[in-house]
Chains A and B, each alone.
Chain A
Amino acid sequence: DIQMTQSPSTLSASVGDSVTITCRASQSISSWLAWYQQKPGKAPKLLIYKASSLQSGVPSRFSGGGSGTEFTLTISSLQPDDFATYYCQQYNSRWTFGQGTKVEIK
């Protein structure tokens, strides 16, 4: 099974900051990686697919990068609506999610 490791688990930042979340796969997953945003009591929302493709309707301040085993999600200029938990997900073989990164207000 492919394991996904996200870091950090928690990230404290201010409105306007640029933040980066990292996700590592236990083996190569090519570019079969997605990023989701989840707010309390809500279903996850797809932000990025195929490592770097922005889902329709998602603000351009969200960007994804990487391939193979190392991936990043960058949020440039954090907005109040961005404080949430973020998950990476591999879909190269079945689905596996990272443990999540909570982005909180500093």
Chain B
Amino acid sequence: VQLVESGGGLVQPGGSLRLSCAASGFTFSSYDMSWVRQAPGKGLEWVSYISEGGSTIYYADFVKGRFTISRDNAKNSLYLQMNSLRAEDTAVYYCVRDRTYYDSSGIRGDYWGQGTLVTVSS
């Protein structure tokens, strides 16, 4: 299993970025996926969730209306479109494998990418 994020970088306040996560080594279309972020020196913060088929989406209140999660199962890829970025959005963003309905063990979050750093600064 591999999750590889890309698309991070330096952006000015109010700007936009699109993060990507390339998945391999598992049946991507059978798994729900999530994004989690971690500000420098701080704890983990859940950002967004998308179901296996993309029909169910949730956002943390602090990104609602600014961020959009999506996926392309044909390309085994997860995305996070981030608009109206603020200094407080500065963080490492992780792509996380969530659950599959083919596994009843209750396991979620078993694989994480290495993260991509987003810096919002003028």
Q: Which residues of A contact B (CB under 8 A)?
A: 1, 31-32, 34, 36, 38, 43-46, 49-50, 53, 55, 87, 89, 91, 94-100
Contact = CB atoms under 8 A, between A and B. Distances in A.
B9 interface: no
A90 to B, nearest CB: 10
A94 B58 contact: yes
B85 to A, nearest CB: 22
A55 B46 contact: no
24 contacts: A1-B61, A34-B108, A34-B109, A38-B44, A43-B113, A46-B110, A49-B105, A49-B108, A49-B109, A50-B105, A55-B110, A87-B43, A89-B44, A89-B109, A91-B109, A94-B46, A94-B49, A95-B34, A95-B36, A95-B46, A97-B43, A98-B43, A100-B43, A100-B44
Contacts of A98: 43
Contacts of A43: 94, 112-115
Interface in B88-112: 94, 105-110, 112
A89 B114 CA distance: 19
A91 B108 contact: yes
B106 A50 contact: yes
Most buried by B among A31, A97, A99: A97
B113 A97 contact: no
